[in-house]
Amino acid sequence: MKKFAALLFLSIALLSNTVSAKVISNEKINNQKVEQAKKIIVGLQKDMKSYTAKGSGPFVAAIYDKNGNLVAKTANSVVNETCSNNHAEMNVIKAAEKKLGTYDLAPYDLRLYVTAEPCIMCLGGIMWSGIKEVYYGVPSKSVEEITGFDEGFKPHWFKEFKKRGIVVYGNIEPEIGEQELHNYVNDGKEVYKPSRKSE
Ligand SMILES: [Zn+2]
């Protein structure tokens, strides 16, 4: 019996180390959407290195249509374009709107994929763009812990997006993204934020 208990403990310990973070959503989890999002987000995480080498990043976002066709893909460019608004999500929305020649993406039924949870500004940007679905990798809590970026206050945003007909899926394959953020910090890259008196 003791042996069984020890074995059970060992298998739970092993399992908890290997099972990735649980996907969360504001709708009933659709596995097909999760699988597609995993592929896209892992791809974006792998693209991160080439963007950070050019001075962008460390976040990458892409917009796809419902048939899986890429509409736009961009990284964060706050530092290299000297603009505090240039987060990956804002950049990709701007790129998609420019490409489609509209400020209203709603009729195009588009999905936004991003390597980390959108910040307070990007939630507003997404809400105003007409994007229908949002998928992200690393949760804000981890982004803040790893990098020191301030993601802002976002009370009940899953619920608020649901009210506005926007589907959200989070914690999609966050491990690779977290590793990339560690690399960004360890490489001594700039963690941009406004200076504040309290700091
Ligand atoms: Zn943002």
Q: How many A from CA of 142 to the centre of ligand 1?
A: 15
Q: In this structure, what is the dihedral angle of CA atoms 117, 192, 186, 87, given to the nearest 10 degrees?
A: 40
Locate tokens 């290299």: which residue? 80
Q: How many A from CA of 41 to the centre of ligand 1?
A: 17
Q: How many A from CA of 14 to the centre of ligand 1?
A: 35
Residues with CB under 5 A from ligand 1 (ion): 87, 119, 121-122
Locate tokens 């990007």: which residue? 122
User: pLDDT category, 11, cuts 50, 70, 90?
Assistant: low
Q: How many A from CA of 112 to the centre of ligand 1?
A: 13
Q: Give the mean pLDDT of the chain.
A: 90
Q: How many A from CA of 122 to the centre of ligand 1?
A: 4
Q: How many A from CA of 121 to the centre of ligand 1?
A: 5
Structure confidence at residue 17 (pLDDT): 44
With 80 as the cut, is the pLDDT of residue 21 above it? no
Q: How many A from CA of 9 to the centre of ligand 1?
A: 41
| pTM of the complete model | 0.88
Q: Report how far Cα 86 is from the mean position of its chain's Cα atoms.
A: 15
Q: Report how far Cα 188 is from the mean position of its chain's Cα atoms.
A: 22
Give 117-159 pLDDT, tens digit per residue: 999 999 999 999 999 999 999 999 999 999 988 999 999 999 9
With 80 as the cut, is the pLDDT of residue 99 above it? yes
User: pLDDT category, 190, cuts 50, 70, 90?
Assistant: confident
